[in-house]
Amino acid sequence: MKLLVDMNLSPLWVPLLIRNGIDAIHWSQVGLASAPDTEIMAWAETNAMIVFTHDLDFRSLLAARKSSGPSVIQVRAQNILPDDIGEIVIRAVNGPRPPFQLI
């Protein structure tokens, strides 16, 4: 899985995601902070990435484009720093794990 962390989320998300096996990059590493959400969506789609955001606009943009991608993960919480909700996000992104391993 590859995540593009939106400008409205801290760059501190990137190392946490990477440590947990998720390929991630912050938008500030690839584009201008002032870029419109449409540009961020287009870049994510071109680079086969999922947008990770706190912004409500992305779901509307996706619907308006009548497109099936890119996917969007939206966090809605008062405290959006990795120290506050990082573990919850990692569990949600990685999904449930079986209690055993098949050999």
- The answer to whether the predicted template modeling score (pTM) of the entire model surpasses 0.75 is yes
For residue range 54-98, what is the model confidence (pLDDT) as tens digits? 988 887 887 787 777 788 999 999 999 999 999 999 999 888 766
- Structural domain harbouring 45: 2-94
- Residue 24 has phi, psi (to 5 degrees) of -145, 150
- Whether residue 51 is contained in a domain is answered as yes
- Whether residue 102 is contained in a domain is answered as no
- Whether residue 77 is contained in a domain is answered as yes
pLDDT above 90 coverage of the chain, percent: 69
3-state secondary structure of 17: helix
- Whether residue 21 is contained in a domain is answered as yes
Number of domains forming the structure of the chain: 1
- Whether residue 9 is contained in a domain is answered as yes
- Whether residue 76 is contained in a domain is answered as yes
- At residue 96's C-alpha, the angle toward residues 3 and 1, to 5°, is 20
- Whether residue 64 is contained in a domain is answered as yes
- Whether residue 99 is contained in a domain is answered as no
